[in-house]
Amino acid sequence: MSSLKHILITGGAGFIGSHLVRHFVTKYPQYQIINLDALTYAGNLESLADVDGRDNYTFIKGDIRDENLVRAVFAEHHITHVIHAAAESHVDRSILDPLSFVKTNVLGTVNLLQVAKARWQEDYSDHVFYQISTDEVFGALGDTGHFTEQTAYDPRSPYSASKASADHFVRAWCHTYGFPALVSNCSNNYGPYQFPEKLIPLMIRNIIAEKPLPVYGQGQNVRDWLYVLDHVTAIDVVFHKGKVGETYNIGGNHELRNLDLVHMLCDQMDNALGRTSGTSRNLITFVKDRAGHDFRYAIDASKIHREFGWSPSTSFAQGLQKTITWYLENQSWVDHVISGEYQTYYQAQYATR
């Protein structure tokens, strides 16, 4: 790969995207990083205040579905590479409003593919389109087993169906047009700057406010947790070393039942807030289960370890402590992102459970 890279990162104002942008802007001053983000409820430029104004960084507010805009961005910024992270990303919202997931995750991805193909078709040798995907496309596991790169897609929520569809289009571009694409499928991320609709930041916020902690069903569902900065280093490795046409699984190798995770959060938060032990556990409220709730996700990340030596460097205990500390110290970030639309969503999602 040449060192002259003009990298379009989509969704760079979101949770994972903001860490990705910060990592690439600061680690690779020789690359130009162009962040295209529509700034939906989930996108927030406050998450990137520290890189704003850097010479190698440009932010563009815009929608990945807007063909003219995307074409202009490719032309004006001489885009050579894409890391595509923009998406509607929350399963519960996908159950309430599936069509917006089809529009952004499927149509938005195909639009990017179309424009990239048109722009790069003279020569694909120094271009890469990297699709950031999820382990949820593989469906749900029982008590045993892991998702490998060979596991057949079996999405079961509107969110995962839209991501699976997008991944299929990316691979179709590879097979049909010889398009230079990579895909990685990652397990549940957590860490600073995650929108407080997802399990960990939602629980942290409610514990601080001493509000009920809504655990779906009996809290027995299992997720495999990865600290967000470990995902970013994995993306860096796959971006630089991955073979086009290939797919890579990324995971934390740290499975937890939701209830066990919420208990850990309660205990660490009681400690951090100087509350009597057990205070926050009393806030746990079992609520109506998520429709079609996938039981268990678990990633086999041996390929990326074997081929590139990547493995997570942050233990779950360290990552959770860092995350709690960050949310306690950055409550104004939370207050800003949850104003407006989020209140309406919270009512719709939790008021009737």
Sign of the alpha-carbon dihedral angle for 221, 136, 314, 211: negative
Spatial strand order of the sheet with 222-227 comes to 188-190, 222-227, 255-257
Nearer to ligand NAD, 5 or 90 (CB): 90
**Sequence-distant contacts of 276-285: CB under 8 A, at least 24 apart:** 280/207, 280/213, 283/206, 283/207, 283/210, 283/211, 283/212, 283/213, 284/212, 284/213, 284/215, 284/259, 285/212, 285/213, 285/214, 285/215
Q: Which of 195, 239, 297, 316 binds ligand NAD (CB under 6 A)?
A: 195
If one asks whether residue 203 binds ligand NAD (CB under 6 A), the answer comes out as: no
Q: Which of 6, 26, 28, 39 binds ligand NAD (CB under 6 A)?
A: 39
If one asks whether residue 134 binds ligand NAD (CB under 6 A), the answer comes out as: yes
If one asks whether residue 188 binds ligand TYD (CB under 6 A), the answer comes out as: yes
If one asks whether residue 32 binds ligand NAD (CB under 6 A), the answer comes out as: no
Q: Which of 85, 110, 199, 256 binds ligand NAD (CB under 6 A)?
A: 85
Q: Given the rule CB under 6 A, which of 30-38, 55-63, 196-204, 332-340 is the region that contacts ligand TYD?
A: 196-204
If one asks whether residue 40 binds ligand TYD (CB under 6 A), the answer comes out as: no
Three-state secondary-structure class, residue 102: helix
Q: Which of 223, 231, 254, 296 binds ligand TYD (CB under 6 A)?
A: 223
Sign of the alpha-carbon dihedral angle for 111, 114, 119, 120: positive
Cα atoms in the Cβ-side hemisphere of radius 13 Å centred on 185: 32
If one asks whether residue 185 binds ligand TYD (CB under 6 A), the answer comes out as: no
Cα–Cα dist 75/259, whole Å: 49
Q: Which option in ligand NAD, ligand TYD, none does residue 8 bind, with CB closer than 5 to 8 A by kind?
A: none
Q: Given the rule CB under 6 A, which of 21-29, 33-41, 215-223, 332-340 is the region that contacts ligand TYD?
A: 215-223
If one asks whether residue 296 binds ligand TYD (CB under 6 A), the answer comes out as: no
Interface residues with ligand TYD (CB under 6 A)?
Answer: 91, 188, 198-199, 202, 214-216, 221, 223, 258, 290
